Amino acid sequence: MGSLDFFQRFLITSLFLITGCNCEEPVLAKDMKFKLHSGDLMPLVGFGTYQIRGTELIRDVLDHALAAGYRLIDTAKVYRNEEDIGKALKELLPKYNLTRQDIFITTKLSPNDQGEKAYDALQESLRKLDCGYIDLYLIHWPGAYGVNASKVNNSALRAESWKQMVKGVKDGLTRNIGVSNYLVRHLKELSANDFGIKPAVNQVEWHPRNRPSDLLEYCNQEGILLQAYSSLGGTDNNDLLKNADVDKIAKKLGKSPAQILLRWPLQQNIAIIPKARSKKHIDDNIDLNFVIPDEDMAILSGFSQNRYAWNPETVV
């Protein structure tokens, strides 16, 4: 798939309002979507739930998130909150006159379940979420727990995981499948043996200090949506949020540093999944209806590089 076809799949971009107006206006961030290989529309702004656990807390943050306009909920088996998310959505969707079809749910395969266990793990996540089907199921990590990262066993295990996930699509457990933390070499390996279904999404650490251009270029060429995590620098890390250049741009545009860091990938057609607990931060993280000028985008894209999360370079 060519890059032109890929960008045509961004059905709603950040710069255009389609009908009924002679002027151009920004489209609300909550309405920005991408058309996956399956034809499903995936919101570009989602709500992350890493380290958000507990029945009451999950219910409260999802209540705020749905009210703010989030329609994509991102979780994973290792987050240990799938069951509480499922319960909360059953309670909250009617409150906002929403149905299951209005919500996009992503969850992920634990590295503990790489290989033949992947199908059972997908079934388990679906049972916990109790949502009828999963919209997107990702291989969380290219390696497997208990297997040295330098061992070729990792390659065979993730290939078997993909085979089982393809079966999950065919059996109606999940509508789309993808990967997380994959480098270009991992994606090329998958492309050579994808069992008939290409990855829809690659969720990776992505922010001004970690922005591998080869990965973005490859994903664009192959029609894979890049989705960013750790957009604000990761958990309990203020390096980016307190960066002088980020602060200067934020003050210039009348926005918060967090909003600048979230708008930066979104303006490059990269999806985001910010997480937050407070209503104010939840609201602010989807209030991205502005444009960062080119000169400021260039400043953010010129930062020195520094990962904050796991490094998949170590995984064969």
149 burial (CB, 10 Å; 0-12 / 13-18 / 19+) is: middle
Distance CA 283, CA 42 (A): 20
User: What pLDDT digit, counting tens, does each position of 243-295 carry?
Assistant: 999 999 999 999 999 999 999 999 999 999 999 999 999 999 999 999 999 99
Strand stretches in 44-123, DSSP E: 47-48, 72-74, 104-109
- In terms of residues, how long is the chain? 316
Element containing residue 66 per DSSP (H, E): helix 55-68
pLDDT tens-digit series, residues 157-181 = 999 999 999 999 999 999 999 999 9
Each domain of the chain, given as residue ranges in start order, spans 3-304
Q: Do 65 and 104 contact (CB within 8 A), yes or no?
A: no
The DSSP output letter for 198 is -
pLDDT of residue 27: 72
Query: Percent of the chain, pLDDT > 70?
Result: 94
DSSP secondary-structure letter at 277? Answer: S
pLDDT digits (tens, 9 = 90+) for 104-141: 999 999 999 999 999 999 999 999 999 999 999 999 99
Instruction: Please report the pLDDT score of residue 26 as a whole number.
Output: 58
Question: Can you tell me which residue has the tokens 């499903």?
Answer: 40
Burial (CB count <10 Å: 0-12, 13-18, 19+), residue 212: middle
CB 8 within 8 A of CB 34: no
Q: What integer pLDDT is reported at residue 3 of this predicted model?
A: 59
At the top level of CATH, the class of 3-304 is alpha beta
Catalytic (active site) residue 182: no
Q: How many CB atoms lie within 10 A of CB 130?
A: 13
Is the dihedral angle over the CA atoms 127, 128, 133, 136 positive or is it negative?
Answer: negative
Q: Quick check: helix, strand or coil at residue 43? A: strand
In whole angstroms, what is the distance from residue 108 CA to residue 155 CA? 18
Q: Active-site residue among 50, 70, 79, 133?
A: 79
- pLDDT, position 13: 46
41 by Cβ neighbours in 10 Å (0-12 / 13-18 / 19+) ranks as middle
Q: Is 14 a residue whose pLDDT tops 80?
A: no
